[in-house]
Amino acid sequence: AAREAAAACQDLEALAAAIEAFEGCPIRFEGAASRSVFSRGPADAPVVVVGEAPGAEEDRLGRPFVGKAGKMLDRMLESIGLADRAFITNTVFWRPPGNRTPSPEEQVVCRPFVEQAIRLVRPRMLLLVGAPATRCLLDQAEGINKLHGRWFEWRTAEGDLELPALPTFHPAFLMRQPTAKAMAWSDLKLFAERLN
């Protein structure tokens, strides 16, 4: 159902409306989410960033990465000249109860919307922040310690689009584990080198 709904969307406004109308992801109805949270950033961004799921601030404001982790993400993007030049979204569009990680099934249900967002923005590259985004888009089950800083080729299910994708650490993880920041900065440098 998500695949047909997403495929019918010719622009991001239509996609946001299709997500708003979509009732196929149980996480939406578990009671933590008060609204849908789709994206922020320019529709013609050279880069799409995919996170995990909205948190409390995102649920309150209706935009992804607007809380503490979002400030950290903005600093990460700024460090490679991408402030306000990234289209930012998540693997699911509703706040999970207790901010738990969305299950692989919940991510798979929502994935056609993420794919269509990437198709419509048509960025040059993807930055995947954290293991859940990496698992969802690249079907990689290893931890982020193994996957960060390695290039992957992301493909739509239909095979009509392929893009280089780089996993790195989630900004919320970096706030808890500041010692991982050095690795994240070197991932970002790698990303910027390929982009520029």
Residues 60-79 as x/- pattern, contact with ligand URA by CB under 6 A: ----xx---xx---------
Residues 160-189 as x/- pattern, contact with ligand URA by CB under 6 A: ------------x-----------------
Nearer to ligand URA, 30 or 57 (CB): 57
Q: Could you give the 3-state DSSP secondary structure of residue 125?
A: strand
Q: Under a CB-based contact definition with an 8 Å cutoff, are residues 51 and 133 in contact?
A: yes
Placement of tokens 């207790």 in the chain: 98
Going by the DSSP 8-state scheme, the letter that residue 154 receives in this structure is E
What strands, in cross-sheet order, belong to the sheet with 86-89? 86-89, 47-50, 125-129, 162-168, 152-155
**Binding test (CB under 6 A) with ligand URA, winner from 2, 52, 82, 131:** 52
Q: Considering the rule CB under 6 A, would residue 55 count as an interface residue with ligand URA? A: yes
Q: Considering the rule CB under 6 A, would residue 49 count as an interface residue with ligand URA? A: no
Q: Considering the rule CB under 6 A, would residue 51 count as an interface residue with ligand URA? A: yes
CB of 70 to ligand URA, least distance (A): 6
CA dist 57 → 69, 106, 152, 190, 191 (Å): 10, 21, 31, 30, 28
Q: Which residues lie near ligand URA (CB under 6 A)? A: 51-55, 58, 64-65, 69-70, 90, 172
